[in-house]
């Protein structure tokens, strides 16, 4: 086939492609997704926390489920007021710091020279 | 939606969402749900249920990962890259389940007819319009049969109208490769459609 003819056919494909019918999700699905997004996004959207938090706020603050909070309840500093369990943000933050030193490797890394870092990395790879 | 709302850039809307404004995300969803769905619908060969589930997962992923979004990259690039990854993963798992799954031409046209709205109005007389619709069905079926690598390129460029620079970022290749893959996609389509196109041209 001649080059020109082929070029014009290719252009024909482009122009056809531009006319392809658009597909869109049904209204029902759109609403379903909006609901799911809202459900998912709302609790995690909070970025500022009051000095005193309740269970829901703490779950947002720590980015874990309420079940996890319950699981660690004995460890997490809390207080009771008027039958409500509350958390002092400052105390929770302090508690997190102890967790960090216990479980994180920050301290270990901080005391290493480069050779030590290499050794640690090799260990982790193996 | 007020006119002002429409003028806010996607990146600004994301920043608003990152600061806790849920409505900003709603606007992004409304703006992109149709083009993204159109892309994934054809990527998964017209499997509507799969496309709808993917659409949900994609936007949930976007909401979830929003805190990691950097306005350095365009929102649409990021969105389509996530959409593409979801499609490829889906196709991979579907392929694993069903070794062979090509949607027949008959099924394709059924699907096309069952879609809601957004069908282009026929501009010419009915005879020409029907002919044109048949051509579009044939093209749709052939796009569906393209290998993934070429299908995504063709859909992103010719159907969604994205520039090669952006497509390159979405598909993680350089712009020249994106362009080459697009040309190849078109040549593959041409090969399949030549007989129909030539009759059309002579008519």
The confidence score (pLDDT) of residue B119 equals 40
Domains of chain B, earliest start first: 1-100 (1.10.1740.10), 123-203 (1.10.10.10)
| Cα–Cα distance, A90 to A77 (Å, whole number) | 10
Decide if B168 contacts B177 (C-beta within 8 A). yes
- Would you tell me which residues 78-107 of chain B have a C-beta closer than 8 angstroms to some C-beta of chain A? none
With a cut of 50, which residues of chain B have pLDDT below it? 1, 101, 103-125, 201-203
Chain B positions touching A41 (Cβ under 8 A) are 17, 22, 25, 63
Which residues are paired to A80 by β-bridges?
A85
Q: Is B24 on the interface with A (CB under 8 A)?
A: no
Cβ count within 10 A of residue A101: 11
Over the stretch A35-83, which tens digit does the pLDDT of each residue have? 988 877 654 545 678 899 998 889 888 888 788 888 899 999 999 998 8
Measured between CA atoms, the residue of chain A closest to residue B141 is: A20
Phi-psi label, residue B154: left if phi above 0, alpha if psi -120 to 50, beta otherwise: alpha
Q: Which pTM was predicted?
A: 0.64
**CB of A35 less than 8 A from some CB of B:** no
Strand ranges, E, within chain A: 52-53, 79-81, 84-88
Yes or no, beta carbons of A18 and B158 under 8 Å apart: yes
Q: Residue A20: list chain B partners with CB under 8 A.
A: 136, 139-140, 159
Q: How many C-beta atoms surround the C-beta of residue B158 within 10 A?
A: 22
What confidence tens digit (pLDDT) does each residue in B68-124 have? 888 888 999 999 999 999 999 999 888 777 665 454 444 444 444 433 333 444 444
Rounded to an integer, what distance in angstroms lies between the CA atom of residue B84 and that of residue A102?
A: 40
Which ipTM did the prediction report?
Answer: 0.73
C-alpha span between A91 and B135 (Å, rounded) = 69
Mark residue A6 as left, alpha or beta (left: phi above 0; alpha: psi -120 to 50; beta: remaining). Answer: alpha
Residue A66, min C-alpha distance to chain B (Å): 18
């Amino acid at each position: 086939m001649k080059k020109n003819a082929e070029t014009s056919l290719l252009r024909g494909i482009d122009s056809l492609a531009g006319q392809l019918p658009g597909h869109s999700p049904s209204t029902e699905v759109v609403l379903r997704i909006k609901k799911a997004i809202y459900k998912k996004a709302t609790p995690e959207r909070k970025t500022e926390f009051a000095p005193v938090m309740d269970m829901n706020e703490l779950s947002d603050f720590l980015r874990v489920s309420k079940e996890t909070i319950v699981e660690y309840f004995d460890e997490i500093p809390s207080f009771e007021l008027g039958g409500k369990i509350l958390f002092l943000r400052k105390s929770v933050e302090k508690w997190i710091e102890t967790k960090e030193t216990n479980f994180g490797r920050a301290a270990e890394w901080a005391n290493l020279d480069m050779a030590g870092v290499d050794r640690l990395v090799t260990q982790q790879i193996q | 939606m007020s006119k002002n709302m429409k003028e806010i850039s996607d990146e600004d809307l994301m920043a608003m969402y990152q600061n806790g404004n849920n409505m900003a995300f709603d606007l992004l969803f409304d703006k992109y749900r149709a083009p993204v769905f159109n892309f994934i619908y054809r990527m998964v060969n017209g499997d509507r249920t799969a496309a709808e589930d993917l659409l949900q997962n994609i936007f949930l992923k976007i909401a979830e990962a929003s805190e990691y979004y950097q306005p350095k990259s365009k929102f649409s690039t990021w969105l389509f890259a996530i959409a593409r990854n979801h499609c490829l993963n889906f196709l991979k798992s579907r392929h694993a389940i069903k070794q062979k799954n090509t949607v027949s031409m008959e099924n394709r046209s059924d699907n096309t007819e069952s879609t809601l709205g957004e069908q282009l109005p026929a501009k010419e007389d009915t005879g020409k319009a029907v002919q044109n619709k048949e051509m579009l069905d044939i093209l749709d079926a052939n796009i569906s049969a393209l290998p993934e690598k070429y299908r995504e390129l063709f859909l992103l460029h010719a159907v969604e109208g994205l520039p090669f620079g952006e497509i390159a970022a979405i598909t993680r290749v350089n712009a020249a490769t994106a362009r080459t893959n697009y040309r190849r996609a078109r040549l593959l389509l041409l090969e399949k459609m030549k007989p129909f196109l030539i009759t059309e041209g002579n008519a």
